[in-house]
């Protein structure tokens, strides 16, 4: 008998290149891959209780070339979806280093600390979606 993990939410997102999305979300950000089929153009991965499903579009989709409006940074101009992905503090620096070594656009060169024990770094994924990577130190989590 197989068991299934229960998710609170599933988000579907279309993309132009499923392999590039896999490289970003699985290999770079370290999300848990639950299914990948390059031939069918399908990738699923977990981010906490969220099941992300990426599907290759039948016709090319225009990639975002600017930052989405989001409360955590003042210069966003697009009124499009953006995401905050919380990553483990122990992995945060390694993820940021991978992004900084890539050609992906980042909002600032280095992470910021919006408040003590909290760190943020912004990157646009291969479709140009604004992603805020966020981590909280274990001591801050214990106090919450």
Same domain, 75 and 143: yes
Look up the pTM and report it: 0.88
Q: Which residue has the higher pLDDT, 2 or 130?
A: 130
Rounded Cα distance, 76 and 64, in Å: 12
Alpha carbon distances (Å) from 95 to 1, 55, 90, 110, 127? 36, 24, 10, 12, 19
What is the total count of domains within the chain?
2
pLDDT at residue number 63: 95
- Residue 74 is predicted with a pLDDT of 80
Q: Give me the domain span that covers residue 80.
A: 66-144
The answer to whether 104 and 122 have CB atoms below 8 angstroms apart is: no
Report d(CA 67, CA 47) in Å as an integer: 22
Q: Are residues 116 and 141 in the same domain?
A: yes
Tokens 């003042």 sit on residue? 74
Residue 53, Ramachandran bin (φ over 0: left; ψ between -120 and 50: alpha; else beta): beta
Answer with the one of 9, 38, 58 that is the final residue of a domain.
Answer: 58
Residue from 8, 11, 9, 7 nearest 81 by CA: 11
Kindly report, residue by residue over 108-136, the tens digit of the pLDDT. Answer: 999 999 999 999 999 999 999 999 999 99
Please tell me the predicted confidence (pLDDT) of residue 70. Answer: 87
Considering the domain architecture, whether residues 51 and 71 belong to the same structural domain is answered as no
């Amino acid at each position: 008998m197989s068991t299934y993990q229960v998710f609170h939410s599933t988000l579907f997102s279309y993309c132009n290149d499923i392999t590039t999305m896999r490289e970003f979300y699985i290999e770079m950000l370290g999300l848990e891959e639950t299914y990948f089929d390059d031939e069918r153009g399908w990738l699923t991965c977990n981010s906490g209780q969220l099941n992300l499903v990426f599907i290759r579009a039948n016709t090319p989709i225009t990639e975002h070339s600017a930052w989405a409006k989001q409360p955590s940074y003042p210069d966003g101009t697009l009124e499009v979806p953006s995401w905050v992905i919380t990553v483990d503090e122990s992995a945060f620096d390694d993820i940021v280093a991978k992004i900084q070594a890539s050609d992906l656009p980042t909002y600032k060169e280095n992470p910021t600390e919006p408040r003590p024990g909290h760190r943020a770094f912004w990157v646009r994924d291969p479709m140009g979606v604004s992603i805020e990577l966020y981590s909280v130190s274990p001591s801050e989590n214990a106090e919450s």
